């Protein structure tokens, strides 16, 4: 067990974070905020700052004090709040109803220039990708694009139709992960208009039939793409050094050899690459673990499987210093903190396990 030190180094400023939750049944009540001490790995108990329905995924504007949140039920909704970095208070600026249903992920796309920002939302239920312009005052404009996917997969219980599960912006294109059709598709985005268009020169990544891709991570040089597959408990590695000719390099289990995915009913959820590019992290729901992979020239070797500290680790993230990993255990209502060994990538659970009802997402104000 890792024990945080008792003294705070001079000049250390804790980072503000926001937590999204599930609010249905006996869940949370909306968006919570707290501060995280990046020197000691200590998370203060988050406080409720905005009551809203199922803000299950959040995204911050990279340079302005705006927080964007999807709402899952009863109607798909995209909301934007202005935040006070000092106390975390949120003020709702506006909201837009989403075409389609079942929003599950979003990304802010920013050029760093005024009036050239957009937000893109993934709708799991209806299998479409929706884009909106971000106005100069941070508010969300009217729908700019609504790209509806088509197709299905061999898993008749989960892949009858498209199910868009993740959206990622790389500076010019948006990668869209579709669990229902076993593909990662690419769209160009015009940041002035927020309009999406198929990226003709970016060939889609095709996963094994029935794999069910959920989320992805990309190396800093954009050469390697790591896709976590929810339905067969694997991570697939692609070399995209030539976007028109992507190469599948490897698919590797997220479970150790002594564990059976069918018996566990395991469904991997989140994936993140360490900033140094040498370690990759994945969460397993069912096995209720975080697994660590060593990365060597893009290829992966599983080096650790550690309990997530609770049940159903739907989400985790590294803090901005990458010294700690925060795991959101949805069903047990706990965010557990792990220390990250910077030389080996290995995780050690700390004494920090904070009660937060149905946590689904954590984002840090940088």
Rounded Cα distance between 364 and 58, Å, is 10
Instruction: Report DSSP state, residue 2.
Output: B
Q: How far is CA 143 from CA 62, 172, 198, 298, in A?
A: 21, 20, 17, 37
Nearest Cα residue to 191 out of 233, 134, 142: 134
Q: What are phi and psi of 182, to 5 degrees?
A: 60, 45
Q: Give the domain range for residue 155.
A: 52-202
Give domain status of residue 59, yes or no.
yes
Residue 143: partners with Cβ closer than 8 Å, 6 or more residues away: 96, 99, 130, 131, 132
Is 17 within the bounds of a domain? no
| Look-up of token digits 């659970």 | 349
Place of tokens 């802010």: 108
* Contact between residue 334 and residue 352 where contact means Cβ atoms under 8 Å apart: no
Helix (H, G, I), strand (E, B) or coil at 264: helix
Domain count, the chain: 1
Query: What is residue 74's predicted lDDT score, i.e. its pLDDT?
Result: 62
pLDDT of residue 24: 82
- The SS3 assignment for 262 reads helix
CATH code of 157's domain:
2.130.10.10
pLDDT values of the chain reduced to their tens digit, one per residue, 366 residues: 444 433 334 456 899 999 999 998 778 899 999 999 999 999 999 999 999 999 999 999 999 999 999 997 667 999 999 999 899 999 999 999 999 999 999 999 998 877 789 999 999 999 999 999 999 999 999 999 999 999 999 999 999 999 999 999 999 899 999 999 999 999 999 999 999 999 999 999 999 999 999 999 999 999 999 999 999 999 999 999 999 999 999 999 999 988 887 778 999 999 999 999 999 999 999 999 999 999 999 999 999 999 999 999 999 999 999 999 999 999 999 999 999 999 999 999 999 999 999 999 999 998
Measured in whole angstroms, the distance separating CA 210 from the mean position of its chain's CA atoms is 22
Rounded to whole angstroms, the Cα distance separating 126 from 167 reads 15
Decide if 288 is inside a domain. Answer: no
**167 lies in some domain:** yes
* Burial class of residue 156 (count of CB atoms within 10 Å of its CB; 0-12, 13-18, 19+): exposed
Q: In this structure, what token pair is assigned to residue 230? A: 């929810």
| CA separation for the pair 96, 70 (Å, rounded) | 10
pTM: 0.95
- Cα–Cα distance for residue pair 200/221, rounded to 1 Å: 21
Inside any domain, residue 129: yes
**DSSP secondary-structure letter at 222?**
S
**CA distance readout (Å), 110 to 56, 59, 143, 166:** 22, 12, 17, 18
Write the CB contacts of 115 (distance below 8 Å, at least 6 apart in sequence): 135, 136, 192
Q: What is the pLDDT of residue 115?
A: 75
Cβ atoms 298, 247 nearer than 8 A: no
* Residues comprising the chain, all counted: 366
Question: Is residue 275 one of the residues assigned to a domain?
Answer: no
**What per-residue confidence (pLDDT) applies to 12?**
65
CA dihedral 70, 319, 170, 193 (to 10 degrees): 40
| Residue with token string 């998370």 | 43
Q: Within a domain: residue 321?
A: no
CA nearest to 57, candidates 10, 7, 18, 86 = 18
pLDDT per residue as tens digits for the range 324-366: 999 999 999 999 999 999 999 999 999 999 999 999 999 999 8
pLDDT of the residue at 157 = 96
Looking at residue 305, its pLDDT comes to 98
Give the number of other CB atoms < 10 A from CB of residue 105. 24
Does residue 118 fall inside a structural domain?
yes
């Amino acid at each position: 067990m890792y024990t945080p030190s008792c003294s705070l180094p001079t000049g250390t400023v804790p980072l503000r974070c926001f937590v999204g939750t599930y609010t249905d049944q006996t869940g949370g009540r909306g968006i919570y905020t707290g501060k995280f001490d990046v020197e000691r790995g200590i998370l203060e108990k988050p406080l409720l700052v905005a009551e809203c329905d199922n803000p299950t995924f959040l995204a911050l504007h990279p340079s302005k004090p705006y927080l964007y949140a999807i709402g899952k039920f009863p109607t798909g909704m995209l909301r934007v709040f202005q935040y006070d970095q000092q106390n975390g208070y949120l003020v709702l600026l506006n909201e837009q109803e989403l075409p389609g249903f079942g929003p599950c992920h979003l990304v802010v796309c920013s050029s760093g220039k005024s009036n050239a920002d957009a937000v893109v939302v993934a709708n799991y239920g209806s299998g479409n990708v929706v884009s909106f312009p971000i106005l100069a005052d941070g508010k969300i404009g009217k729908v700019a694009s609504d790209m509806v996917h088509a197709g299905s997969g061999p898993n008749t219980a989960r892949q009858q139709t498209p199910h868009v599960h993740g959206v990622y912006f790389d500076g010019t294109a948006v990668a869209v992960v579709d669990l229902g059709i076993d593909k990662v598709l690419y769209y160009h985005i015009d940041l002035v208009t927020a309009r999406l268009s198929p990226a003709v020169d970016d060939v889609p990544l095709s996963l094994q039939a029935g794999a069910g891709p959920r989320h992805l991570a990309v190396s800093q040089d954009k050469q390697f793409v790591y896709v976590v597959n929810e339905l067969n408990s694997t991570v697939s590695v692609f070399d995209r050094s030539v976007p028109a000719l992507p190469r599948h390099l490897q698919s590797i289990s997220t479970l150790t050899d002594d564990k059976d995915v069918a018996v566990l009913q395991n469904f991997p959820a989140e994936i993140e690459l360490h900033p140094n590019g040498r370690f990759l992290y994945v969460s397993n729901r069912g096995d209720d673990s975080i697994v660590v992979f060593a990365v060597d020239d893009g290829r992966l070797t599983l080096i650790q499987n550690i309990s997530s500290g609770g049940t159903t680790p739907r989400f985790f993230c590294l803090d901005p210093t990458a010294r700690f990993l925060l795991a959101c255990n949805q069903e047990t209502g706990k965010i557990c903190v792990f220390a990250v060994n910077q030389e080996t990538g290995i995780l050690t659970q700390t004494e920090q396990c904070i009660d937060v009802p149905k946590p689904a997402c954590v984002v840090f104000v940088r």
